[in-house]
Amino acid sequence: MKIEQTSFNRYVKENVFETIKTYHLINPNDRIMIGVSGGKDSILTLHMLNKYKTENKVNFDIEAVCIDEGIKGYREEGIKTAKDNCKRLDIPLTVYSFKDEWHYDLDDISDIYKSTCMPCGVYRRYLLNKISSEHDCDKIATGHNMDDEIQSFLMTFARNDQNKFPKFSPILDKIHENMVPRIKPLWRLPEKDVGIWCVVNNIPIHNEECPYSVTSLRSEVKLLLNKIEEKEKGTKRNIFNSFEKTFKIKQENIKLNNCENCGQPTARSPCKACEITEEIKSKL
């Protein structure tokens, strides 16, 4: 077990470090904000970036942010896990809630839209960008793994949303002065390996499913892909490799403006966060 654990850890570390190096995700003196939910993906990202900093002696700073959406009976445990891991690694953590920003919880608005994940995703992205920008961070690191990327890409097809194709990348460039670039160190790591790493290393994670996840298209796509993978091993990796070879769309072609309400970067003004906030206020 000891040898297996050692070789498995080496595989995970090499996979993540190679992605960081190949795609130049981190430069010396960067200040990186890690979005930590307490789930396995963000916790592995936290540990791997900390390892990368200490083992490679690259001089960069790490801090973490945990967004509290306001999901009663669910999010509390994730925040606790995020705090425990950050404390263990001595990484400063900021917890910021939807309520702090908009004065209501996700629970309060959960039945306004067909999928609760829609306003949740819009608000989370908004806050991640806002907070990392306020903290003068150069990049936001997220825990997106290989499975997440495949699901996202297939969802852009399902929605005929080709504008999102350039997001299929381990690094999203700075395409607007107020947009903090995103990096995805787990981009090439399958989801099941993320889970195994946490178990074999006895790392505390929040392992529950969000009660709203069943309302999303993503959960349907995930189920379907897992079903196909069970029958045809290697399907996910093949899809990922095909996407990687086929879609290299330049991010500089994306043009962003400032939202006329909040000033945040957006393709069209008002931004999606301001647009749904107006809708929500009229319905509450």
Min dist CB 271 to ligand SF4, Å, is 18
Min dist CB 117 to ligand SF4, Å, is 3
Min dist CB 210 to ligand SF4, Å, is 3
How many CB atoms within 10 Å of residue 100? Answer: 12
**Nearer to ligand SF4 among residue 38 and residue 265 (C-beta):** 38
**Nearer to ligand SF4 among residue 79 and residue 120 (C-beta):** 120
Which residue, chain included where needed, has tokens 């819009």?
122
Phi-psi sector, 282: left (phi>0), alpha (psi -120 to 50), beta: alpha
Positive/negative CA dihedral, 167, 171, 177, 178? positive
Binding mask 17-56 for ligand SF4 (x = CB under 6 A): ----------------------------------------
Report d(CA 233, CA 255) in Å as an integer: 39
**Nearer to ligand SF4 among residue 30 and residue 68 (C-beta):** 68
The pair of structure tokens assigned to 122 is 């819009």
**Nearer to ligand SF4 among residue 50 and residue 216 (C-beta):** 216
**Binders of ligand SF4 in range 184-243 (CB under 6 A):** 210, 212-213, 216
Min dist CB 78 to ligand SF4, Å, is 9
List strand residue ranges (DSSP E) for the chain, in order.
Answer: 31-35, 61-68, 93-97, 139-141, 171-172, 182-183, 257-258, 265-266
Report d(CA 55, CA 63) in Å as an integer: 18
Min dist CB 119 to ligand SF4, Å, is 8
Min dist CB 11 to ligand SF4, Å, is 28
How many CB atoms within 10 Å of residue 69? Answer: 23
Count residues contacting ligand SF4 (CB under 6 A)? 9
Min dist CB 185 to ligand SF4, Å, is 20
**Which helix (H) or strand (E) is 166 found in, with range?**
none
Q: CA end-to-end span of the chain, whole Å? A: 55
**Binders of ligand SF4 in range 90-149 (CB under 6 A):** 116-117, 120-121
Report d(CA 25, CA 42) in Å as an integer: 16
Binding mask 50-79 for ligand SF4 (x = CB under 6 A): -------------------x----------
| Residues lying near ligand SF4 in the complex (CB under 6 A) | 69, 116-117, 120-121, 210, 212-213, 216
